[in-house]
Amino acid sequence: MKPFILVLFCLSMQMCSQVKQPVKSNAIKNSSSMENSSSKKENPYYSRTDRTKLNVPNSEWKKILDPEVYAVAREADTERPGTGKYNQFDELGEYYCVVCGNHLFRSDSKFSSTCGWPSFFEADKEGVSYKRDSTYGMERTEVLCKRCDSHLGHVFNDGPPPTGTRFCMNSVSLDFQPDAKTAEK
């Protein structure tokens, strides 16, 4: 897939260079209105269906992601406990990687944990990968998005049945999509 990514990269470079050319005033208007649209639309790597591995340098992510997301997802920062928007949250739906859109968790596997971060007892096996983390004098297992290698959190073996696993995640790294509302009975 690397040549494909290279082509995309070249295309985006070309588009950038075109923007720098003198343009008519209505074109400028269009480009500024695009900048005001949601950040997801400006992220060309975001997809909830494409699971192709991404190899995007942090210099590129820094231009695309919000500073808060970049700090957690790309520099393994941790949001303060109890502050994340999905910590006390029990809606039904799917959780995706906020950086690339890869599917990570289903709300069925979320459980109420007192640790201060959203916790799951099971992850999408195609969604996450693991890495040994020996920082801060601790032996932990870091959880990463399998598609874009963004930091999600850590995994511990003190979770509830049926798995006994606790995925301790940063809300900042997650993107939630509620289930489509079914017709009221």
The pattern of x and - marking residues 140 through 159 that bind Zn ion according to CB under 5 A reads -----x-xx-x---------
φ/ψ of 166, rounded to 5, equals: -125, 110
Structure-token pair, residue 129: 């990968």
Buried/exposed 113-125: b ≥16 CB within 10 Å, e otherwise = beeebbbbbbbbe
The pattern of x and - marking residues 49 through 88 that bind Zn ion according to CB under 5 A reads ----------------------------------------
> Helix (H, G, I), strand (E, B), or coil: what is residue 74?
helix
By rule CB under 5 A, what count of residues binds Zn ion? 8
- Out of 97, 100, 148, 168, the active site residue is 168
Decide if residue 102 touches Zn ion (CB under 5 A).
Answer: yes
Contacts for 174 with CB less than 8 Å, ≥ 6 apart: 86, 95, 96, 97, 98, 104, 105, 118, 152
Least Cβ distance, residue 94 to Zn ion (angstroms): 14
Which residue among 69, 97, 143, 155 contacts Zn ion (CB under 5 A)? 97
Task: Respond yes or no: is residue 168 known to be catalytic.
Answer: yes
Kindly indicate which of the ranges 11-19, 43-51, 116-124, 137-145 contains the residues binding Zn ion, using the contact rule CB under 5 A: 137-145
Identify which of 84, 130, 70, 128 has the alpha carbon closest to the alpha carbon of residue 103. Answer: 128
Which residues contribute to the site for Zn ion (CB under 5 A)? 97, 99-100, 102, 145, 147-148, 150
